[in-house]
Every structure is written in structure tokens, then in C-alpha cells.
């Protein structure tokens, strides 16, 4: 009987993991911001802003709508909202129909590329 319960638990656990990786709709700006705030790059920005502001500020977000390849995206700008100006760190694009479909504005070229490609470019720059 224990074996059956353990197998059942494992199946439920695996199913939950599989569901978390499926397409999840980002119907609101808040959902898109939540997805972006969980990215490791944004969490590093959060730590940096927290340290320079004596633990009084965090990453700020600005959102807009954007069409990329005939698909509707939320544009989410991350940055620091200082006393005299806004400093943009990154521009992310979250597909409104799939929160896992994320693009980034590559600053040097100005191209909007998939986040996986952007991470590879950043990794190459660090090695050089």
C-alpha cells in the first residue's frame, strides 16, 4: 500500500512540474512584471539597487504594448527610478499568450532577440 501511495505522490509531483513549464497566459501587466521580476538578471538588479539605496528602493518597472512578429507582447522596462532621472537597465518583452516566451532588446545592436540568445551573448562577453 505504501508503494502505491509513493507512486501516486511521484506522479502528482511530476505532473505539477510539467504543468509549470507549459504555456501560461500573461493576460495582465502585473503577471508580466511578476515573470520578469523572477528572472535571475532582474534579481541581481534588485540586489544592486537595494545596496546603493541603503535598502530603501528596488527595481522599478514601466510597461507598454508591443507587436513582435505579429504577436502581442508586454514591453517591460526594468530600471532604477532615481531622484532626478529614470535609468533603464533592460527592455523585456513577454508574450501575452505565453509567459515563457520572453524577448530582450539587445542594447548594442538594437535587435529584439529571445532571452536564451541574449544570455548566450552576455556569457560570451564575460569570457572576453
**pLDDT tens digit sequence for 86-117:** 999 999 999 999 999 999 999 999 999 999 99
- What is residue 69's three-state secondary structure? coil
pLDDT above 70: percentage of residues in the chain: 80
> Alpha-carbon distance 114 to 11, whole Å?
32
| pLDDT for the residue 128 | 60
| pLDDT for the residue 19 | 44
| pLDDT for the residue 114 | 97
Which has the minimum average pLDDT: 8-12, 67-71, 74-78?
8-12
Q: Is the pLDDT of residue 53 over 60?
A: yes
pTM of the predicted protein model: 0.78
Burial class (CB within 10 angstroms; exposed 0-12, middle 13-18, buried 19+) of 22: exposed
Handedness of CA 86, 87, 89, 90 (dihedral sign): positive
Decide: 41 and 59 in contact? Cβ < 8 Å: no
Amino acid at each position: 500500500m505504501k508503494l502505491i501511495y509513493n507512486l501516486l505522490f511521484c506522479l502528482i509531483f511530476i505532473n505539477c512540474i510539467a504543468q509549470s513549464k507549459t504555456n501560461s497566459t500573461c493576460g495582465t501587466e502585473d503577471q508580466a512584471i511578476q515573470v520578469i521580476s523572477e528572472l535571475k538578471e532582474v534579481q541581481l538588479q534588485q540586489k544592486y539597487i537595494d545596496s546603493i539605496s541603503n535598502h530603501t528602493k528596488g527595481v522599478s518597472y514601466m510597461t507598454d504594448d508591443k507587436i513582435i512578429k505579429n504577436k502581442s507582447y508586454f514591453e517591460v522596462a526594468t530600471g532604477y527610478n532615481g531622484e532626478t532621472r529614470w535609468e533603464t537597465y533592460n527592455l523585456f518583452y513577454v508574450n501575452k499568450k505565453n509567459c515563457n516566451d520572453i524577448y530582450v532588446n539587445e542594447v548594442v545592436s538594437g535587435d529584439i532577440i529571445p532571452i536564451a540568445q541574449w544570455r548566450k551573448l552576455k556569457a560570451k562577453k564575460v569570457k572576453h
